[in-house]
Structure 1
Amino acid sequence: MLRSLDIRDMLIIDRLELDFQPGLNVLTGETGAGKSILLDSLGFVLGWRGRAELVRAGARQGEVTAVFELPPGHPARDVLDEAGLDVSDELILRRVNTAEGRKTAFVNDRRTSGDILRRLSDVLVELHGQQDDRGLLNARGHRALLDDFAGAAEALAATRAAWREQAAARKRLAEAEAALAEIREEEDFLRHAVAELDALDPQPGEEAELDQRRRLMQAAGRIREDIAKAHQALGYDGAEGLISNALRWLEGAMDQAEGRLDAPVGALERALNALGEAEQGVADTLEAMDIDPAELERVEERLFAIRALARKHGQMPDELGSYAETLRGQLEALDGGAADLKELAAAVEAAEAGYDRAAAALTELRQAAAARLDAAMAEELAPLKMDRAVFETKIGAAEPGPDGRDAVAFTVATNPGAPAGPLNKIASGGELSRFLLALKVCLTGTDSGLTLIFDEIDRGVGGATADAVGRRLAALADQGQVLVVTHSPQVAARGRHHWQVAKQVSDGATLSRVVPLVGDGRVDEIARMLAGDTITEEARGAARALLAG
């Protein structure tokens, strides 16, 4: 609910504070008094696109502040939360316009964008008038309005879920078909590569092992001669023989040396044992270096084959085995691709059937709701003196989408036998106002938490018809808050709260003032609306009769 509107230095308003109430709030005044400025100012703070020049002449900047009450569950809370703005029971919107045209917006004293204001306005306020292109006259929103009237949230959610599943199934099939086509283009390569890799069968770590063996075998030819010389020098014809002879000679002399040779003999025995171990190790090395040239050739051929295959496929030698598995998996996918595509195609068919069922159920729900809405509109139009007019909700085919495959349009025929057409192209000004009001009455249960604004929606009607309009507006206001700008005394008399908008000249400047009316002041204003500038007692009596209702 709109609780207050504070306007400073906008057009011909220097300072204005309005406190609105629940129920029907009416604003009256002579033409040009500034009633439209109030709506322009409210639209400005809500981010609507309107007049370019709004700042009062001579002022540095204009500013509008609007305060709304947000009951629990109000959809504006979701908008605030999504935008990362503070959420509370009170929402304060403020927007400033400098004389140079710069605009700055605030939500609960935090700077924000005009887009956030407009998103909030969609769930805070709904404007209806003869130039209404945001609400009921916007054919693009008729399907959503019918869905709300039908209570189709569950069916709509099911249709959207079925649409997403259908899209996902089609995407999976398309991706599988594309992947299979890509693999088929490389089938010859894959089969040749897998056969080549399987034939070589390289093992992890094999390349490094072969390289080490090759280097040892190549080195063996160069160092074997020196190792052989060393083996000969260590053998019996060399160091071993000399030490053995020295040990034999010393042992023969030990008995007469009185123990002096015991230690040298022991050392030589140990040296002889160590020399034997060294000689055996050298001998083993010589045996290991007894290289077969054919074996070296075989090692080199396999090593070079592994490295060449790795370069060919852009892989590390140790990764050739896992690379072969990858290629083998692609071949298996190719071989089993036809079966997979068949399963995916069946899934697409099932998803499409699911969407068809959900969309058909939604269409049926909309058709039933359309019949109820048309009947409700017929009942509403009769008291508004439009009993000969025909309102029809037309449901046609549309391109399938997440919201079904129906196009919805509200059409009217103002006279029997006349062709039906869009509301704003068939109805005259006064008829259009009444059509909009009747439609709003029928759809009002769907507008949770909205402040409804009617801008001279009673234009072109009077007498009993204007009284019927006033009664319908009052009925709407009983369920929330309605603001109406009106020139009709019958409508004004139905208001629970009444403000008069008037112009006055102060210090040579024309300013707009808004005065709350009660008691005799309200009687005089309605009498003025009935009689004109000269208010008679008869007019006051008629005004009192209207107020008594």
Structure 2
Amino acid sequence: MLTSLKIENVAIIESAAIEFGCGLNVLTGETGAGKSIVIDSINAILGERTSRDIIRTGAQSAKVYAVFEDVNAKVRKFLDENGIDCEDGVLIINRTLSREGKNVCRLNGAPVTVSMLREIGSELIDIHGQHDNQALLSPEKHCGFVDSFAGNAEIIADYREKYGRLCEVRSKLKKLTTDESSKSQRIDFLTYQIDELEKAEITPGERDELKARKTLINNSQKVIESLNVAYEALKADGAGIDMITDAESEISDASAYMEALGEASEKITDIRYELEDIAETVRDAMSEVDFDQSELEEIDERLDLLYRLSKKYGNTEEEMLEYLETAKTELDNIAFSEEKVKELQKQEKEALAETEAAAKKLTESRKAAGEKLSEAICSELEFLDMPNVRFVVKCDDIGLTENGKDEIEFLISANVGEEPKPLAKIASGGELSRIMLAIKNVLAEADGVDTMIFDEIDTGVSGRAAQKIAMKLRSASKGRQVICVTHLAQIAAQGDVHLYISKSVSDGKTYTNIKSLIEEDRVAEIARIMGGMEITKLQLESAREMLRNAGNI
């Protein structure tokens, strides 16, 4: 569970340290005080996308630091697979965002990517945001809820692998079964391209060699003069090599009487051999520089041809040769298309059968899960003051798609005698809140996430329904940590931990303050939620009664 959260320079929070506890943690405060900033900060350490706009005015970076204790087996497995230590089940997450856009993320001190944060974050916390209720109105989202409840990840992965193979085979088949006119035109075009490239007899690195030869030819006079001078300096009578030879002879004679000169004698002999080799190299180079005007013209023509071909077939010789092989392969495929079509049709039949079987398995899993999910949600909604509700998971066959062949939609009937209809047509804001709470509670039992966060799950709810939601949140928190941002006194009173968020202005700057409430401070805050600006004795007594009934006073 999440035990502590430290926030620095995030929006109007300059610095805050929050300690969370087991059970139900409630966050209350005036609108705009910074409750949503706390949720945004938690989202940040879970790897969600953030903007530099969250950095507090005047600061260069924003930092969020979170500590989780007793993390679950999935989290430990992820850390182990990535070589990250997790002593005693403690996980520390740091994330820093700078104005330059740089993200620095760490898990127990080890640097990680934002995507890794997001992956592990999904196993740590399930967050229900203020606008997530709207996801219930979109049937496209409903299939994800069912798959999550069913644990269909492996079945979906297997299906998508087979579906991808089917699409690949069909794509190849489509290319081969074009009309005869297009096929004939394509054959002519490919034949022309292949002939042009083969006649060119391109070799890798050819242009670089030609350009180097052209540069040498254009500077041949200078090169020849330099080589002549060098050769004369080495081989002319009485020049370099002759002088070295004389010196070698004298040192050799002297070394017969001085052992110290033995090494020098060997070295000067080596030098003479090297100079002889150099002289031969210079002489050979002089012969290479010899050319006529026709060679330069041939080089220019060749470079011009390669340039024109590169505009059509690839920038480099390697790319042009690769294009040639691709064209040959395509021409072969067309030439032997009848045989290949038959082979691909056979592959398509096999791939279709495998895909249909995988789709059937996925559909069966979804339908079975849909029935169980419907029963579980109806049970939850009955507790949440919707006693006559019928919640139906409809599953229609829409043919093979990337996500299977099922179109799933949630239908609901809130009153006896009414046929179930799409949520968007009949569910009120308060009903959506309760349905989402029911779904989240049921899914939490299935996926084993240790912490659930609800940001204003009480939207559109009051009275008896609000009390039921409060009791359900309290009940849910018995098996896991629940953190809830609320504006309802009924929910606030149920909290095992009550955090009050307020803001103040000092020296022209706005500051957010976070305080853990106990005893009379908590009574006063619940009374404020109930009554507004002026708090009466009756409201204070009502607040005490609510806390007393919840066992929190």
% identity of equivalent residues: 36
Tell me which residue corresponds to 2:84. Answer: 86
Query: Residues 76 and 124 of structure 1 are in contact (CA less than 8 Å); yes or no, is this contact kept in structure 2?
Result: no
Question: 1:519 deviation in Å?
Answer: 3.4
How do residues 1-20 of structure 1 correspond to structure 2 at under 5 angstroms? 1-20=1-20
SS at the partner of 2:104?
Answer: strand
Deviations 1:155-180 (A, max 9, x none): 546645654665687689899999xx
CA distance in 2, matches of 1:117, 1:136: 26
SS at the partner of 1:145?
Answer: helix
**2:542 aligned with 1:539:** yes
Query: Residues 62 and 96 of structure 1 are in contact (CA less than 8 Å); yes or no, is this contact kept in structure 2?
Result: yes
Query: Residues 390 and 414 of structure 1 are in contact (CA less than 8 Å); yes or no, is this contact kept in structure 2?
Result: yes
Question: 1:442 deviation in Å?
Answer: 2.4
Query: Residues 452 and 481 of structure 1 are in contact (CA less than 8 Å); yes or no, is this contact kept in structure 2?
Result: yes
Q: CA RMSD in A?
A: 4.1
Deviations 1:467-495 (A, max 9, x none): 21012212222222211001112112222
Question: 1:352 deviation in Å?
Answer: 2.6
Tell me which residue corresponds to 1:287. Answer: none
Tell me which residue corresponds to 1:391. Answer: 391
How do residues 500-519 of structure 1 correspond to structure 2 at under 5 angstroms? 500-506=500-506, 509-519=509-519
Question: 1:112 deviation in Å?
Answer: 4.5
SS at the partner of 1:512?
Answer: strand
Query: Residues 391 and 420 of structure 2 are in contact (CA less than 8 Å); yes or no, is this contact kept in structure 1?
Result: no
CA distance in 1, matches of 2:505, 2:168: 67
Q: TM-score, normalised by structure 1?
A: 0.61
How do residues 282-431 of structure 1 correspond to structure 2 at under 5 angstroms? 345-346=345-346, 348-401=348-401, 403-412=403-412, 417=418, 420-422=421-423, 427-431=427-431
CA distance in 2, matches of 1:134, 1:104: 30
How do residues 420-499 of structure 1 correspond to structure 2 at under 5 angstroms? 420-422=421-423, 427-499=427-499
SS at the partner of 2:384?
Answer: coil
CA distance in 2, matches of 1:457, 1:437: 7
Question: 1:120 deviation in Å?
Answer: 3.6
CA distance in 2, matches of 1:173, 1:508: 69
Query: Residues 46 and 121 of structure 1 are in contact (CA less than 8 Å); yes or no, is this contact kept in structure 2?
Result: yes
Judging changes above 3 Å, is the alpha-carbon distance between structure 1 residues 508 and 362 closer, same or farther for their aligned structure 2 residues?
Answer: closer
Question: 1:20 deviation in Å?
Answer: 1.8
Tell me which residue corresponds to 2:101. Answer: 102
CA distance in 2, matches of 1:515, 1:135: 33
SS at the partner of 1:525?
Answer: helix
Tell me which residue corresponds to 1:124. Answer: 124
How do residues 139-150 of structure 1 correspond to structure 2 at under 5 angstroms? 139-150=139-150
Tell me which residue corresponds to 1:37. Answer: 37
CA distance in 2, matches of 1:53, 1:346: 56
Letter matched to residue 61 of structure 2: Q
How do residues 82-231 of structure 1 correspond to structure 2 at under 5 angstroms? 86-88=84-86, 89-98=89-98, 100=99, 102-108=101-107, 109-132=109-132, 139-152=139-152, 155-156=155-156, 159-160=159-160, 162-163=162-163
Deviations 1:418-469 (A, max 9, x none): 883355x753332221111111122222232352111111123223211210
CA distance in 2, matches of 1:116, 1:520: 43
Tell me which residue corresponds to 2:324. Answer: none
Which of 529, 538, 551 matches 1:548? 551
Letter matched to residue 104 of structure 2: A
Letter matched to residue 132 of structure 2: D
CA distance in 2, matches of 1:118, 1:73: 17
Alignment: residue pair count = 399
Alignment gaps of 5+ in structure 2:
189-331
Worse overlay, 61-70 or 33-42: 61-70
CA distance in 2, matches of 1:443, 1:525: 32
Letter matched to residue 46 of structure 1: L
Tell me which residue corresponds to 2:286. Answer: none
CA distance in 2, matches of 1:125, 1:70: 13
Tell me which residue corresponds to 1:232. Answer: none
Letter matched to residue 23 of structure 2: G
Structure with bigger gyration radius:
1
Worse overlay, 101-110 or 152-161: 152-161
Query: Residues 130 and 433 of structure 1 are in contact (CA less than 8 Å); yes or no, is this contact kept in structure 2?
Result: no
